[in-house]
Amino acid sequence: MSPDDKAGVGRPSRVLWMMLLAHLVVWTAVPTLVNHNLPLDVVEAIAWGQEWQWGYDKHPPLSGWMAAAAGWVGRATGLGTGDWALYLLSQVCVVSAMLGVYLLGRATLGAKQAVLAVLLMQGVTYHHFTSPEFNVNVVQLPFWAFAFYLYWRAIHDDKLWQWAGIGLCVGLAVLGKYLGGLIVFPLVAFPLVSRAHRWVLRKPGMYVSAGGCLLVVLPHLWWASQNRWITLTYGLGRAGAGADEPWSILDHVLHPVNFLLALAFAGVATLPIVWAWGIRRRGNGSDADESMVPHARLFLAVMGVTPIAVFCGLSLVAGFELRSMWGTPLLLLLGAVLVDRFRFTRVGDAKRMVLPPLMVSLVVAGVYAGTTLGSLPVRDKGKRTNFDGVGFSRALQSAWDEQTDRPLTIVAGRVWDSCNPAWYLPQRPTAYLYADPLRAPYVGDEVMRERGGLIVWTKARRADRDRAKDAEVPVEGLAERFPGHVFLEDVVVPWPGDPEAAGGGMRFGVVYVPPR
């Protein structure tokens, strides 16, 4: 029996479930307790999802649908504002991905080694510190993890349901974000580099996966074709296509290097875990793990490295910038690769296994709480999660009620200004994003003229400074599009707990568009 086989406890699943439950509780409770407002991406996703479209101005629909469903659950329970349900949704995605990695690890490395791989995931920033902000990147995690697992099963069992499951996972990943389609590259690369699995390219299984993926994505593609491919143009813009900055040959090198540095930083918290476990490189003889399943090492390496190589290769060729958060699903198998390549000499019982990753998770949770709670007193500048979204939304409702007894059903403006009331007001008005019918085709000017609504914009991050008026309204052709509009008094929203902090709060301009 190898040293790694002795590592762990008699029932690895018990350690696994304890850690998954601890992660779920800690990373749902901490943001719920310290944040006053949902993060930007979360309120935007809710505002999208409650319109139940097959696509939105920035992304495919899945993240919006999931956020809207979680918001409905949160409100239905009657527990506070329901923010907790969105934080829980994020952690369900993370924990589901961990479960997928465990299943893959159990099939390739053995149960105890699979638990170690999952515990090492606690050292990745994407799996804790950034995870409370549910968005299109977090959505990727479970689908990538289960696609890898089902693929391993499919190349051994060649069952139709396994290939169909892969297609479903890839399709859902694409419905979450177009970059989810990059998961196809490692799936295709493995039979190309593994001679023993070339048969995969000749058998119908992979083509069943491709067909299943297409069926899942097809309704969104039809929607996108009817809406000027707005999600695709947004994605190209985020990557730097058509940017105003001058092009430089150095971008082809600097962008992928910066991305690799960001990934390294995201995984740096694995270092204290492996140090505490006593890391030692495996040898090639008796020191190697004899229980290793044939081709497992190559499989884990291809699945883990290929997506990173594709990202960097595309940036190297095209010169576009890679956002650090795009790497969210790319370190899922970091723990599995480390467990495969190294053995750990000080993990002889459950306590020694669990304590280092648990401590890392708790320390990071403390840092997360500290950066939120200390933002106002230390920096005299609030984070978005310090904002009083409930108070802001109620102030807008009061301003509306002073003008009419009709219900407020539309709030127009930029994401932060329009999506907060779309979540925090009980009637959940529609967010008319940027008052742009191309970006929010489910509303349009005619609907707003019929129902009336509010146009809201941030005048100043500090209410004691900027008091500029009409010129700041982020709506072109205001007079022609919404005749009869009225400028209302500014709304000032103090920071919770300290009304005088950071200039007394934020200042918002408000325009009333009367119902027809």
**pTM metric for this prediction:** 0.92
Query: CB–CB of 165/151 below 8 Å?
Result: no
Query: CB–CB of 45/64 below 8 Å?
Result: yes
Q: Residue ranges of the chain with pLDDT lower than 70?
A: 1-10, 235-247, 282-292, 466-471
What integer pLDDT is reported at residue 486 of this predicted model?
Answer: 93
H-type alpha helices, 319-438: 334-341, 350-373, 375-379, 389-401, 415-424
What integer pLDDT is reported at residue 283 of this predicted model?
Answer: 59
Cβ-based neighbour number of residue 379 at 10 Å? 11
Q: Measured between alpha carbons, how far is 436 from 263 in angstroms, rounded to an integer?
A: 36
What integer pLDDT is reported at residue 242 of this predicted model?
Answer: 44
Q: Measured between alpha carbons, how far is 395 from 463 in angstroms, rounded to an integer?
A: 15
Distance of CA 56 to the CA centre of its chain: 16
Query: CB–CB of 427/460 below 8 Å?
Result: no
Q: Measured between alpha carbons, how far is 209 from 172 in angstroms, rounded to an integer?
A: 12
What integer pLDDT is reported at residue 284 of this predicted model?
Answer: 54
What integer pLDDT is reported at residue 246 of this predicted model?
Answer: 58
Cα distances (Å, whole numbers) of residue 363 to 355, 473, 508? 12, 43, 37
